[in-house]
Chain A
Amino acid sequence: MRLAAIPPLAIGLATVGLALGVVETLLLLGLLNQFVIPLPSAVLGSFGRLFAEEQLLERLMMTGSEALAASVLVSVAGISLGVLLYKVRILALATEPWVAAVAAAPVVLAYPLFLVIFGRSAATIIAMGFVAGLAPVILKTLEGLKGVRKSLINVGLSYNLTPAQQFWKIEFPAAIPTIFVGVRLGLVFALINLIGVEFLINFGGLGQLINDLAERYDLAGVFATIVFVILVSVVIFAVLERMERWLRPGR
């Protein structure tokens, strides 16, 4: 069978399986240190224990819903603010460099401030994720709208569209690919910060579990939980991709 005829998913899974097999062999041969890297088989074996004893499913749901809340907030607020900056030019001129500065700042270090405001709760975690992910969405929304081809804008003008039609029928759909680049970036930032803060304040879902397991030196458990963190991001990105294709067909 030609390699191209195999579904990409099967090749992807086979590659991961092969890599894990190699790591397992190297660990068993003593070429890698089992005190630093757990056996992949032990990681797989710990799933049952984590579900039964560490409420992995509940924690997954908790982190998942925090991520969902932060994602919705980041997208809605980021896109709206981006549109506002696009419409009010003076505002964009005044604030764009500051927004870009925030995008590059290690916002996670401000977590004590959020703890004071929101307490040791899911609200702090969501707020942290939100603040961390907001800037790229604003910047990319602004960039997408500013970059709409002049010829498309002229088509709208030539048909005497109302400003609302011009925006919703032409400018916004034309900007969607760039806006989604921002949303993807924003959600990556939000998710990293979300798990990070769960870990730091030892509260909530998967981040807290990773903290607990690390303190107990349960390496297999730590790695198994990280697999579930990856799962959350995979689900979010799959949904996002579907949404983009639905909102903006035709490439």
Chain B
Amino acid sequence: MPAAAAKLRLAETVKEADLVIDGVTMRFETREGAVTAVDDMSFSVERGEFVSIIGPSGCGKSTVFNILGGLVRGYEGKVNVGGDLISGPHPSIGMVFQEESTFPWRTVLDNVAFPLEVKGVRKAERHEKARHFIDMVGLNGFEQRYPAELSGGMRQRVAIARTLVFEPKILLMDEPFAALDEQTRLLLGDKVLKIQEELKQTTLLITHNITEAVQLSDRVIIMTFRPGKVKRIVDIRLPRPRTGDVVGSEAFGRHVAEIWNDLREEASRGMAESEAGARRRKA
């Protein structure tokens, strides 16, 4: 779907959307002048929908993540969450970060219960709720372990459970499995599909991994390389409930090829630009 049509669709779906991004532009001042990281981005995520944003490195994906999470300000445009205009971190948005973000000094149980603890929920209640989500991400039996005793994939599941325990309207994830190997990533994808099925959780995933985006999403938003714009929105027509088996299907391959076709040009521009930058620095 081209960008103009995406904007039209935006107007139609605003009513039932959990998240609406409208004309968001972000500029940074650098020594070489102003850089537009994100340029007039508009899209929406409907209730219960799983949407991925995919783009080459340096396209402004993480800037979008930080804007939606309320961690950066000074952008143009509007971000609406369940009808609220956001101006900082919003309780309806739960964030899962790319980098290691579990607290090493807390057990799995206390890590997951953390958001409830800071809101003053009683210990028994918060632990019960935390146990439910630990079970959901498949970490039962590890409640009393510390993050250092877990694998990278397990730690990211702790971070996901910690975000879900707060029952956010929108789950916002920034390449949560980027540091993991491909097989672990596919298996964790299965887990995310199951959770999504169970909670009907509205989710926005930022990723650079095409198979991950196709495996998990209802729609994939392809971004252009700098400045980051919506290039196209692809509807993923794979049946739900999905399992990891979908990866072997013909339709899956078609979607991957389709997205790569769009992304290749952007990725090439990104690579050419970073190589030119390296040459300039050398000179």
Contacts and interface: CB of A to CB of B under 8 A. Distances in A.
B105 A173 contact: yes
Contact of B115 (A157, A159, A176, A249): A159
Interface in A137-159: 149-152, 154-155, 157-159
Given A154-B95, A158-B95, A149 B100 contact: yes
Assign chain A's interface to a size class: 20 to 34
B56 interface: no
A89 interface: no
A248 B146 CA distance: 11
A250 B99 contact: no
A150 to B, nearest CB: 7
A184 to B, nearest CB: 18
Contacts, number: 62
A216 interface: no
B101 A251 contact: no
A169 B95 CA distance: 18
Interface string B7-27: 000000000000000000000
A55 to B, nearest CB: 44
A173 B146 CA distance: 14
Interface in B72-119: 88-89, 91, 93-95, 97-101, 103-107, 114-115, 118
Given A173-B103, A248-B105, A250-B105, A159 B118 contact: yes
Given A248-B105, A251-B146, A251-B148, A151 B100 contact: yes
B147 interface: yes
B69 interface: yes
Contact of B103 (A150, A152, A158, A159): A152
A250 B148 contact: yes
B69 A158 contact: yes
Contact of B97 (A151, A159, A249): A151
Contact of B71 (A149, A154, A176): A154
Interface in A149-190: 149-152, 154-155, 157-161, 165, 169-170, 173-174, 176
B105 A165 contact: no
Assign chain B's interface to a size class: 20 to 34
A93 B177 CA distance: 38
B113 to A, nearest CB: 12
Given A150-B99, A158-B95, A250 B71 contact: no
A165 B148 contact: no
B50 interface: no
B166 interface: yes
B195 to A, nearest CB: 19
A248 B114 CA distance: 16
Contact of A151 (B89, B94, B99, B107): B99
Nearest to A248: B105
Contacts of B103: 152, 155, 170, 173-174
A250 B251 CA distance: 46
A250 B146 contact: yes
B89 A157 contact: yes
A154 B146 CA distance: 20
Nearest to A155: B101
**Nearest 9 A/B pairs, CB to CB:** A250-B146, A151-B99, A151-B101, A158-B95, A251-B148, A151-B97, A173-B105, A250-B105, A248-B105
21 contacts: A149-B99, A150-B99, A151-B98, A151-B99, A151-B100, A151-B101, A152-B103, A154-B71, A154-B97, A154-B101, A155-B95, A158-B69, A158-B70, A160-B91, A169-B118, A173-B105, A250-B105, A250-B106, A250-B147, A251-B104, A251-B148
